[in-house]
Amino acid sequence: MLTVIAALIGGVRGFQRAGALGGTRLDKAQYVVGYAIAFGLAGTFAGVCIARLFEL
């Protein structure tokens, strides 16, 4: 669940970043995908660390 939430937040953040840089529609799509992957991966690692910390 943490991975999905982090990926969604990353997608929104990527869209905002591309818009701030004056990107086109395709630039925004690329930023959305890139940020979603990066945030999702970070969320996955955080989830694994939390699970191991609490031995879930």
> Residue 43 above 90 pLDDT?
yes
> Residue 55 above 90 pLDDT?
no
**Nearest C-alpha neighbor of 4 from the set 31, 43, 33:** 43
Chain mean position to CA 15: 11
> Residue 5 above 80 pLDDT?
yes
For range 1-18, the mean pLDDT = 97
Tokens of 26: 């395709």
DSSP structure class, residue 1: -
Can you tell me the distance from the alpha carbon of 37 to that of 41, in angstroms, rounded to the nearest whole number?
Answer: 6
Q: What whole-number percentage of the chain has pLDDT above 70?
A: 98
> Residue 6 above 80 pLDDT?
yes
**Nearest C-alpha neighbor of 3 from the set 46, 54, 52:** 46
